[in-house]
């Protein structure tokens, strides 16, 4: 409760005192609305399960089961009297996994990373209370499964990220001032709108769907503009996503009429040897 008061009440008041009233005030949900939305997530029967499955898969396979045993090992009478040290750890882990935001795509369930330490402590308690005498076989089996699972997950992560990394390299190689992303037809292509190493630069990458007709005209008039759409990212292996936005059809048609729809092209080889390498030594 104290941390909620600090960030929700005291910090905004401090900013208001130090910097003055904001020039642009937008309505936002209050603290009660945000807390209510946390508990609404419990109504989604799949979200906590999906989050927890990611968390289990990207950690030691025995960590969560042993942590559950550690919770079961708590002495309930001591817990009621406030003498069970594992109780706050258990409450934090349960709240962190059940009420956390859905991270969307990704791996490891990053919103529960802060609870890895408490989970490990609870897992240690569960192992100490329930393990057979001098029996390390379950631990060794768990470590082997974790190692094999980690190899598989790292391979799948690389396979998932590779098309987007190739798309970033192609965009970064553009000599244009601005690259407009048309994300239709690709999964998570909107996330290609980012600067090099997180810093905006040349080319400036923008989402075409977020621009108005006048803004597109201004860009085409003042800068060298190139397009990056499904014709470029689909051959790189970006997964297909079937969605449409009719407003972007209008923008694309207007850009074509204005001659401002040149696609992103990789740079030309600088030397004859580079050209041979790019062609796979076809000659």
Residue 141 lies in a domain: no
Residue 202 lies in a domain: yes
Q: What is the mean pLDDT of residues 4-31?
A: 66
Residue 168 lies in a domain: yes
Residue 26 lies in a domain: no
Residue 170 lies in a domain: yes
State whether 188 and 252 are in the same domain. yes
Q: Looking at residue 282, what is its pLDDT? A: 45
Residue 225's domain comprises 162-257
State whether 40 and 121 are in the same domain. yes
Q: Looking at residue 180, what is its pLDDT? A: 93
Look at residue 172 and tell me whether its pLDDT is greater than 60.
yes
What tokens does 184 get? 């239709």
Residue 109 lies in a domain: yes
Residue 19 lies in a domain: no
Look at residue 276 and tell me whether its pLDDT is greater than 70.
no
State whether 168 and 252 are in the same domain. yes
Percent of the chain whose predicted confidence (pLDDT) is above 90: 12
**What domain count does the chain have?**
2
More confident residue, 202 or 44: 202
Q: Looking at residue 159, what is its pLDDT? A: 92
Chain-centroid distance, C-alpha 148: 24
Task: List, for residues 91-114, the tens digit of each pLDDT value.
Answer: 888 887 777 777 777 788 888 888
Which residue, among 112, 224, 94, 233, has the nearest Cα to 171 in the 3D structure?
233
Look at residue 281 and tell me whether its pLDDT is greater than 50.
no
Which DSSP state fits 210? Answer: G
Residue 15 to residues 3, 4, 8, 224, 250, Cα–Cα distance (Å): 17, 16, 12, 40, 43
Look at residue 77 and tell me whether its pLDDT is greater than 70.
yes
Look at residue 266 and tell me whether its pLDDT is greater than 80.
no
State whether 39 and 120 are in the same domain. yes
Residue 9 lies in a domain: no
State whether 184 and 237 are in the same domain. yes
State whether 253 and 173 are in the same domain. yes
State whether 127 and 179 are in the same domain. no
Q: What is the mean pLDDT of residues 21-35?
A: 57
Cα separation, 10 vs 82, in Å, equals 31
Q: Looking at residue 29, what is its pLDDT? A: 53
What tokens does 259 get? 């001659």
Confidence of residue 30 (pLDDT cuts 50, 70, 90): low
State whether 126 and 191 are in the same domain. no
């Amino acid at each position: 409760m104290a941390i909620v008061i600090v960030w929700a009440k005291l910090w905004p008041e401090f900013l208001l005192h130090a910097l003055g009233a904001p020039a642009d005030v937008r309505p936002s949900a209050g603290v009660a609305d945000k807390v209510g939305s946390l508990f609404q997530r419990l109504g989604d029967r799949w979200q906590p399960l999906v989050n927890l499955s990611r968390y289990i898969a990207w950690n030691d396979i025995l960590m969560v089961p042993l942590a559950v045993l550690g919770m079961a090992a708590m002495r309930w009478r001591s817990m009621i009297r406030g003498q069970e040290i594992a109780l706050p750890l258990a409450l934090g882990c349960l709240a962190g996994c059940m009420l956390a935001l859905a991270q969307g795509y990704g791996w490891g369930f990053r919103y529960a990373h802060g609870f890895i330490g408490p989970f490990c402590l609870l897992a240690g308690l569960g192992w100490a209370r329930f393990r057979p005498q001098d029996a390390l076989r379950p631990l060794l089996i768990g470590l082997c499964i974790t190692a094999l699972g980690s190899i598989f997950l790292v391979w799948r992560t690389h396979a998932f990220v590779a098309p987007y990394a190739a798309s970033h390299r192609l965009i970064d190689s553009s000599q244009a001032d601005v690259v407009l992303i048309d994300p239709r037809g690709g999964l998570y292509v909107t996330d290609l709108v980012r600067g090099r190493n997180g810093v905006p630069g040349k080319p400036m990458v923008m989402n075409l769907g977020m621009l108005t007709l006048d803004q597109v005209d201004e860009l085409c008039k003042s800068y060298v503009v190139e397009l990056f759409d499904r014709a470029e990212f689909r051959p790189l292996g970006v997964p297909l996503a079937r969605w449409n936005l009719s407003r972007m059809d209008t923008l694309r048609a207007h850009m074509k009429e204005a001659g401002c729809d040149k696609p992103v092209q990789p740079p030309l080889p600088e030397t004859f040897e580079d050209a041979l390498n790019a062609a796979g030594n076809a000659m």
